[in-house]
Amino acid sequence: MKIAIFGATGFSGKVILKEALSKQHEVVILVRNKSAISINHKNLTVVEGNVLNRQIVADVLKNCDAVIQCLGVGGKGNAKPTTFISDATKIIVEEMEKQNIKRLIAMSNVGAGNSVSFYPWFFTKIILPYFMKWLKVIIDDKNRMEPIIMNSELDWTIVRCPNFVDKNPKGNVHVTLDGKGLKLSITLGDVAEFMVRQITDGSYSRQAPSISN
């Protein structure tokens, strides 16, 4: 399949890109700077540009069968309010609908949407707003992003992730829709495998599973 990945130079995006190529997908990515990509692969096309540029996004999506959106703000960001991910997602969704590309896999955070209830009240009311402001502003933007996707006509899956750890994949991913059994972290490799698998696996179509190890 031909897939577009937005966010392929990020912490998780680089691993997702490698996973997609390892599964023999034809991949096109949009990056702000081509020098950020060191991979040279016959199935990889790199386009330089801004994801907030609608025409560039439309060009990247041409003839694609599916999309993975794993955009971030650059690590923890600067803790200042942002609409970057939701703004970019709105453009991606609208251009996908115009081109009749149905399958979208989007990365979100545990704590967004109804998964806020998966955390204890002390975390959401004290720790998050006062001691983890960088994460709160990201979750706030994911809360703007998720309805854009959910209210679209796409065949979407929103994957809500906890903390990423850069360790060897464990090969087992716990998936929950109600928070039961959810842990605090997941390896990058396991995230990548799960995200890429959703391209062809419709088990969580139009659902927002939370995953962990």
Q: What is the pLDDT of residues 31-79, one digit of tens each?
A: 999 998 989 999 999 999 999 999 999 999 999 999 999 999 876 667 7
> pTM (2 decimals)?
0.94
Label residue 14 left, alpha or beta by phi (over 0 means left) and psi (-120 to 50 means alpha). Answer: alpha
- Spatial distance between the Cα atoms of 131 and 10, rounded to a whole number of angstroms: 24
How many secondary structure helices (H) and strands (E) does the chain include? 7, 10
Instruction: Quote the percentage of the chain above a pLDDT of 90.
Output: 85
Tens of pLDDT, residues 147-205:
999 999 999 999 999 999 999 999 999 999 999 999 989 999 999 999 999 999 999 99
129: pLDDT confidence band, cut at 50, 70 and 90? confident
- Spatial distance between the Cα atoms of 61 and 68, rounded to a whole number of angstroms: 11
- Output the pLDDT for position 75: 64
C-alpha 41, offset from chain centre: 22
User: At residue 95, does pLDDT exceed 70?
Assistant: yes
Instruction: Quote the percentage of the chain above a pLDDT of 70.
Output: 97
- Output the pLDDT for position 125: 79
- Output the pLDDT for position 131: 59
- Spatial distance between the Cα atoms of 137 and 131, rounded to a whole number of angstroms: 12
105: pLDDT confidence band, cut at 50, 70 and 90? very high
Task: Point out which residues pair with 48 in neighbouring strands.
Answer: 31
Domains, the chain: 2-212 (3.40.50.720)
Tens of pLDDT, residues 3-19:
999 999 999 999 999 99
Q: In sequence order, what are the residues at sequence separation of 6 or more whose Cβ sits closer than 8 angstroms to the Cβ of residue 70?
A: 5, 6, 7, 8, 10, 12, 13, 16, 106, 107, 195
What b/e readout covers 192-210, taking b as 16+ CB neighbours within 10 angstroms? bbbbbebbeeeebeeebbb
User: At residue 130, does pLDDT exceed 70?
Assistant: no
Is there a contact between 208 and 113 (Cβ–Cβ < 8 Å)?
Answer: yes
* Mean pLDDT, the chain, whole residue set: 94
- Spatial distance between the Cα atoms of 30 and 59, rounded to a whole number of angstroms: 10
C-alpha 126, offset from chain centre: 27
Of 73 and 21, which is predicted with more confidence? 21
